[in-house]
Amino acid sequence: MLRTAHFLLAAAAVPLLLAGCARSSGEQDARVTEQWLGRWNGPEGTYLDISGTPADYRLTIANLDGPRRFVGRAQGAKIVFVRDGVVESISATDGEATGMKWLLDKQNCLTVRSGEGYCRD
């Protein structure tokens, strides 16, 4: 009987422990994306501006056609948003990973996809 009680107690504790780990991991991921707040510059006057909170990021992405606004959300160590019906994500990279020759020597960058990146000097 005592053995069964210990097993039941352990079985009940596992989901609680996992929930605590997920919450802790989610909080850590949010801290990562919160460090991205502000303006990130790309070539030829393009930029990415991030404001808001991990649950409700306000993204302004300016390309050569002008700025567009999106709403994003932290998901893992990324910000996920929808643009033109396509789910996109922003992640931390270096300049080489942006796939853009103008940013090759940069170390602190965000990339949406190869050929679309923004960096801070």
Domain residue ranges in the chain: 25-119
Q: What is the pLDDT of residue 121?
A: 77
Residue 43 CA to residue 118 CA, distance in Å, equals 8
Kindly report the CATH number that applies to the domain delimited by 25-119. Answer: 2.40.128
pLDDT (tens, 9 = 90+) of the chain, 121 residues, equals 544 433 333 333 333 333 444 444 556 667 899 999 999 999 999 999 999 999 999 999 999 999 999 999 999 999 999 999 999 999 999 999 999 999 999 999 999 999 999 999 7
CA quadruple 89, 90, 94, 100: dihedral sign: positive
Tell me what pLDDT residue 91 has. Answer: 98
